[in-house]
Amino acid sequence: MAIKLLTYDKMAQCETLVIGVFSDKKMNVTGLPKHAEALLQRLQTLGDIAGKSGEIHVLYPEGPGPRRLIVCGLGESVRLGSAEISKALGRAVKRAQALKAKDAALAVDTFAGKLLTPERMAETAALTGVLAMYQYQEMKSLPALGDRVTFPRLYLVSRNPAAISRAADAGEVIGEAVNYARTLANRPGNKLYPQKLAEEARALARRHAQLGVSVMLSAQLAKTGFGALTAVGGGSAHPPVLIELKYRGGKLKDAPVVLVGKGITFDAGGISLKPPAKMEDMKFDMSGGAAVLGIFKAVAELRLPVNLVGIIPAAENLPSGSACRPGDVVKSLSGQTIEIINTDAEGRLILADALTYALRHKPAQIIDMATLTGAVVVALGNAASGLISNHEALAAELQAAGELSGERTWRLPLWDEYRELLKSEVADMSNMGSKPGAGTVVGAAFLEKFVEATPWAHLDIAGTAYGDAGPVFAKGATGAGIRLLVQWLRQRKA
C-alpha cells in the first residue's frame, strides 16, 4: 500500500487533511495554513467543535492548502489509548472514502495524547489506515467491477517524519498481515477447506524465505494417533490436515513460542446440527488458524528475534454417515480418552491434539486462539477476547499487550469447580460441562488438560473474530489476535 510521510510544509499537495481534537485541551493547529488555523480556533471557541469522542466534522476552508478538513473528536487526552485512536482514525478514513476523496492525510501530531508516544501514535495511524481501507471483494463477478469500493491514498503528516518512519512502516506491515488473515477468514467454505488452507500456508512460506511449513495429511494423522482431530473431520469429503509453520529468529538455544489456531473451515455442528440462522457465519470458525498465518507473515517481515512454531489443526465439521456421534469415545494424541457429548463442541477436540503435539517442541509458552464458545459473546460482547491462563506472568503480559495494541482481553478464572464439570462416567473426560453455564471457562478447562505444566494461555475470540461494520472494520472478519500477539512477541523477554 506504501503509506507516504509528509512534513506540514508539503501537505498543500493533499486534498483532505484529518485533524484530531481533544475535549480537554486547545486544538493543536501548529503548521496548518493560517486561514484554516483561524477557522478551527473560531469553531472551537464557539463550541461547534467540542472534541467529544465520536464527533466528526467536515470543513471546507477558503484559501491555499488542503481543500477539505476532517476533524475528529477524541475525548479526554488522559484517556486516549490505541483502541480509541483507532476508532477515531477509522471514522475519518471511512468518511474520506464516502466523500470520494482522492487522499487522506492524517496529521498525527494532533492526535498525540498522554498515553501514546509519537512512535506508537504513528504506528497506530498507519495500521488503522490499512485496516479501514480494506473491503473483501474477491468473490465479486466481473460485471460488478464498476461498483467496487475505492479508497483514498493515505499520508501521515508530521513535524518530524524521520522520527516516526520505522513505526509507520511497522504499522503498515501489521495492518497488511491482519488484512491477509481477514481475506482467508472471509472466504466461503466451498473456496477454503482444509487442503486449501494448507496451500495458503505453503504459499506464505514460498513468499517468505524465513518460514518453513509442513502438512500432515489425514492418513498420517490417523497413524500418528490424532484421534480427536480425525474424529471431527470424519464427516467431510475434505479430510483434516495439520499445518505446522516454523520461524527461527532467536538464538539456537531459545525454546520456541508455540501458537495454535483453531482451523474449522466450516462448522455445521456435525450430528449436533446447528440451527440454520446465521450458519453462513461458520466460515469464520477458522479465524484462529488464519490469525496464526497472519502473525507469521508479520513476524517474518518485521524480522522479530524470536523462535516461533505455528500449529493449525484444520477440519470441516459436517454431518454424514461417517461423522462422529454424541456418545462416541475417542482417544486423543495424549492418550487420554474423551466422551463426545456434543459434536458441536468440536473446536476443543481438534485443539486437544494440537496442544499435545505442541509439547513435542518443548515450548517456552503455548498460546491458542479459537472461536471456541458463544458463551464468551454473552460475557464480553464484541469489545474484548476472553483470556484464560495457567500462568500469572503470561496472562499479565498479554493483557498489557492488549491495551497497547488496542486489542483488549479480559481474564476469566480457571478454578477446580469448572474442572469438575468435565468428568465422564465412561471416559477420562467429557467434551462438555455437566451443568449449564460458564461455557467459556469450561472449554478452557478442557484445553488445560493437554498442556501439562507448560505456561499456556487461551484466547477465545468468538466475539471479536468477525462482526458488523464498525469505525475501523468492514463487515466480516477482523483478524482478531494478530495485533495483540505481534505486540506481545515484540515486547516479550525470552
Residue 69: what pLDDT?
94
CA 177, 474, 13 angle in degrees (round to 5)? 75
Distances (CA, A) of 481 to 149, 289, 387: 26, 10, 11
Locus of grid cell 491514498 = 153
pLDDT at 114: 76
CB 349 within 8 A of CB 338: yes
pLDDT at 368: 99
Q: Judge contact between 271 and 326, C-beta under 8 A.
A: yes
Residue with cell 494461555: 457
Per DSSP bridges, beta strands 337-339 and 329-331 are antiparallel
Q: Using CA atoms of 401, 467, 270, 325 in order, give the dihedral in degrees to the nearest 10.
A: 40
Q: What is the pLDDT of residue 80?
A: 86
How are strands ordered across the β-sheet holding 329-331? 329-331, 337-339, 429-430
Burial class (CB in 10 A: 0-12, 13-18, 19+), 415: exposed
476: closest CA among 284, 294, 262?
Answer: 284
Q: What is the pLDDT at residue 461?
A: 99
Domains of the chain plus CATH, in order, are: 4-159 (3.40.220.10), 179-491 (3.40.630.10)
**Gap between the Cα atoms of 418 and 184, Å rounded:** 34
With a CB cutoff of 8 Å and minimum separation 6, the contacts of 459 are 288, 367, 368, 369, 370, 385, 386, 387, 398, 409, 481, 484
- pLDDT value of position 36: 83
Residues 6+ apart with CB under 8 A from 166: 119
pLDDT at 1: 56
Sheet holding 56-59, edge to edge: 4-6, 153-157, 103-107, 16-21, 68-73, 56-59
Whole-angstrom distance, CA of residue 88 vs CA of residue 128: 9
List of the chain residues with pLDDT < 70: 1, 142-149, 494
Among the residues of 331-374, which ranges form H helices? 347-358
Question: Is the distance from CB of 291 to CB of 369 less than 8 angstroms?
Answer: yes
DSSP strand pairing (241-248 vs 307-317):
antiparallel
> Would you state the pLDDT for residue 142?
66
pLDDT at position 144 is: 54
User: Which residues are designated catalytic?
Assistant: 274, 348
**Cell 513505526, residue?**
167
- In this structure, are residues 307 and 255 in contact, taking their beta carbons and an 8 Å threshold? yes
